[in-house]
Chains A and B, each alone.
Chain A
Amino acid sequence: MSPMLEVHGLSKRFGKVVTAEDVSFSVEPGTALGIVGPNGAGKSTLLSLIGGVLAADGGTIAFDGKDITTLSSGARSEMGIARSFQIPRPFVDMTVFENVYVGAAFGGKVQGQAGYDTTAEALEISGMSHLANVPAGQLRLLDRKRLELARALATRPKLILLDEIAGGLTEKELPPLIEMIRGLRDSGVTVIWIEHIVHALLAVVDELMCLAFGKILAIGDPREVMASREVIEVYLGSTFDMGEAAS
């Protein structure tokens, strides 16, 4: 069985700023990969490269055994890659239901009644059913994040890319989200999840990657990665200094 995602030698730079340099890794079907790293490490950029929002400067991306390096994000969505944005991008003049139905009708390729059912299911899973007919522009930040998730789910993805979906949640709100993502993974969806809340990640992911300055610092068993000295130095040891400076 080929990997769900195989990234090889991926690179991306903006002027002199390197956000991905020779990044290679693969994710097996039905597993979850967590990504940690200091601010500006290139985590969101990596998701943008996989999702097709950004074009890579070099390297290849294969999804489900097919080379997708040059495909548009629309084409990748149809193939089964879904993405939630760190800063939510709702369609503000459409209702929550319509927002999610876009995902079902296009990425998920289900229209009419089947599309409505898929949409309702995605709303149910993300806990947004009660807001279905509310214009998305009226949502609070937290609901906007949920909407990102609901839209991604409605595309019926094989691979879902989650970008700080738990950011801003309270400790009480975390367990249901963790259960949901674990449930997704258990149902066969491959998950790549960027998160600063490490204990939430560790509760779900099978593998963990630590990124810094566009390079993979460590990848493998989550606990080993978190225990490795490079990660402690670059990620944990520097968050206070780096975090302030980078933001």
Chain B
Amino acid sequence: MTQAVVHPHAKVKRATKSSWVGLAVIVVLLLVAPAVPYLVDKGTQGSLVTLFSLIVMATMWNLLAGYGGMLSVGQQAYIGIGAYALVYIADTVGIDPFMAVPIAVVIAGLISFPISFLAFRLTGGYFAIGTWVIAVVVMEIVQQVPALGGGIGVTFNGFSDLTPGRRIAYVYWLSLVGVALAVAVTYWIMRSRLGLGFTAIRDDATAAASLGVRVTRSKRFVFVVAAMGCGLAGAMIAANTLRVQPDSIFSVNYAVFMIFIVVIGGIGTIEGPIVGAVVFFALQQWLSDLGAWYLVILGLLAIVITLFLPRGLWGLLSGNGRIRLFPVGYRLVPPVAILDVTHEPAPATSEG
């Protein structure tokens, strides 16, 4: 008996109609966004930089947890490293601040590489706590260095020869490039073979390894990229606030924000963290006068969304994944009738 030899010519589609709309929206945004400093006041520009840094952090946490399956509670380590590195390189070493930002990003990545060997000895909940401990250790070490201001911190003087209006515009443009790059790199990774492997690892690491995915190597790559992204967010924060203090820049609150944003926005999508960051930022602006009630409301919102919208706000907006601004999947274009079930939450499947 011989095998029927089939040589199908498979036609695979990646972009969708909605992703072309998404591309158009992004192009328009990228054309308009650079003009913002000429249109709004300094305070608004500063707020937008904060929003951009939230988007960068959340995008990176989503890459780690949503695609790589690594629930880190210690990304503030790299936020702090990025912030301190920017200040030190620009002020003490004397390199132009615009050059200092990419160097700070690389430093965050370089430091995260040896840390990954430590963190990867742990999994699951232990990994989460371990990354947090590592972040505390990094903070303690930084506080022991007199050149970094010890426990008091440092002031960023890199832009001190600029007028305030010009300075905030520069920081805004810098952050705009930063956030665009962070999202673009994430999208590029997720569309590539690497991203396919990460998604497989997240769903089942053992099966992924059996199909040839190099699990540890891939995870380490994401870990370093996420650290670089958080380093970028830290540099953006330092350039915006002009002041870096160890207990605030290494605050675990950043980890909480990232998790909150990704959970309410929609984990495992590129759009989710962006939507979540905008919502979180708006809530922060409106509710900041309420004191402790602000945190209570955030907590309630997170609970409600987790219970009723497991795919987050983006899941709701996109009709459970029907709309994709950043398409990373693969769809076989049917030569014959193909069952085309759209993404619904999977029903509990009874085994056996």
Contact = CB atoms under 8 A, between A and B. Distances in A.
A2 interface: no
**Most B CB atoms within 10 A — which of A72, A73, A87, A93?**
A73
A225 interface: no
B31 interface: no
Contact of B3 (A101, A111, A133, A184): A184
A109 B197 CA distance: 12
B338 A130 contact: yes
A39 to B, nearest CB: 14
B177 to A, nearest CB: 30
B206 A53 contact: yes
A131 B6 contact: no
B203 A92 contact: yes
18 contacts: A51-B210, A53-B209, A72-B216, A77-B211, A89-B206, A91-B204, A91-B207, A94-B203, A95-B330, A97-B12, A99-B200, A105-B196, A106-B197, A116-B330, A132-B334, A141-B350, A155-B212, A183-B2
Given A89-B206, A90-B204, A129-B336, A97 B330 contact: yes
B341 A182 contact: no
B7 A105 contact: no
A5 interface: no
B208 interface: yes
Contacts of A92: 203-204, 346
Interface of B: 1-3, 6-12, 193, 196-197, 199-200, 202-204, 206-216, 268, 329-332, 334, 336-341, 343-344, 346-347, 349-352
Question: What is the size category of the interface that chain A forms with chain B?
Answer: 35 or more
B7 A121 contact: yes
A222 interface: no
A102 B7 contact: no
A95 B12 contact: no
Tell me the interface secondary structure of chain B in the complex. Answer: loop
Sort A-B residue pairs by CB-CB distance and give the 9 closest, nearest first. Answer: A107-B212, A183-B3, A137-B346, A106-B212, A77-B212, A120-B10, A91-B203, A89-B207, A116-B10
Interface of A: 51-53, 72-75, 77-78, 82-83, 85, 87, 89-95, 97-99, 101-103, 105-109, 111, 113, 116-117, 119-121, 124-125, 129-135, 137-141, 144, 151-152, 154-155, 168, 179-180, 182-184, 186-187
A141 B351 contact: yes
A168 B350 CA distance: 13
Contacts of A75: 214
B322 to A, nearest CB: 13
A19 to B, nearest CB: 17
A77 B200 CA distance: 15
B212 A108 contact: yes
Given A52-B209, A53-B209, A186-B2, 10 more contacts: A74-B212, A89-B206, A93-B202, A103-B211, A106-B212, A107-B212, A117-B10, A134-B339, A138-B349, A140-B349
B320 to A, nearest CB: 11
A134 B346 CA distance: 11
